[in-house]
Amino acid sequence: MKKLIAGNWKAYVNTERDADELFSLANSASSSAFDLVLCPPFPYLEEAEKRAKQFAVGAQNISSEKEGAHTGEVTAGVLKDLGVKYAIIGHSERRAEGETDEMVREKMTLALEAGLSPILCVGEHLETRKKGLNAAKDFIQEQLEKDLYKLQTINYKLIIAYEPIWAIGTGVSDKPEDTIVIINFIKEFLKTNGYKREARVLYGGSVNSKNILDFLSHEEIDGALIGRASTNPKEFTAIINAIA
């Protein structure tokens, strides 16, 4: 299975010029070695779709409403209409803003109904991880049970990003050997809970050009969700060269 690299631009890229530079760099990536997805802010999605040759386009979030009187929301239907293929759902930065597991589950349903591939983010807080890997597993299991409740029938390959919250944007990444324990746990959870199609499980949390191969050299880790480093042209180039 090809590794998947998803760049979550968050709110780091704020001009068309900077977005354009990253689109050009992504188009120079060797497409046969890995799958590349860029997730820019909503207003740049249309241009991303026009520019996408060696990458696919993802949204950073979707509305938990299908349509209607919801000012400022961007629905799965709008994204699908623009040609967007992926959507990050349940990112810890959105959960920290009040997104509940029920909303995440609704977003998963709407994304799947619209034909988008959701990248579901799960991961534990530092206090949990300090109690050990078993505590982290319990936390993640609860998220998966709620976020994927009765979604076993989906005819899609799931993408899950294991993103320990304490590793996001901190410069402190997980230890790959611990990541593998959690990723195997997630894969086992899906298998024993009736998700028949093989899922890709990514790691996210302070991945950069120096540590990316420490993660991706393990076959259990199916890719990476990369925030800040994916928005720095030099770092982004070094990352795609390292994997290629």
How far is residue 108's CA from residue 49's CA, in Å, rounded to a whole number?
Answer: 22
How far is residue 95's CA from residue 23's CA, in Å, rounded to a whole number?
Answer: 28
> CB of residue 73 vs ligand PEP: minimum separation in angstroms?
21
Which of 207, 239, 240, 243 forms a contact with ligand PEP (CB under 6 A)? 207
How many chain residues are in contact with ligand PEP, going by CB under 6 A?
A: 14
Cβ-based nearer residue to ligand PEP, 168 or 240: 168
Give the pair of three-digit tokens for residue 61.
Answer: 């979030």
> CB of residue 227 vs ligand PEP: minimum separation in angstroms?
2
Which of 61, 75, 117, 206 forms a contact with ligand PEP (CB under 6 A)? 206
Which of 144, 204, 216, 243 forms a contact with ligand PEP (CB under 6 A)? 204
116-175 residues near ligand PEP, rule: CB under 6 A = 163, 168-169
Cβ-based nearer residue to ligand PEP, 83 or 169: 169
Give the pair of three-digit tokens for residue 192.
Answer: 């024993």
Does the annotation mark 16 as catalytic? no
Q: Is 231 exposed, middle or buried (0-12, 13-18, 19+ CB in 10 A)?
A: buried
Q: Does 225 contact ligand PEP by CB under 6 A?
A: yes
Q: Where are the alpha helices (DSSP H) in 152-199?
A: 176-192
- Which of 91, 93, 99, 106 is an active site residue? 91
Indicate the helix (H) or strand (E) that contains 201: strand 200-204
If you search the block for the tokens 């709008």, which residue do you land on?
A: 78
Distance of CA 146 to the CA centre of its chain: 18
| DSSP bridge partners of 120 | 89, 160
Q: Does 205 contact ligand PEP by CB under 6 A?
A: yes
For binding to ligand PEP (CB under 6 A), which residues are involved? 8, 10, 163, 168-169, 204-207, 225-229
Residues known to be catalytic: 91, 163
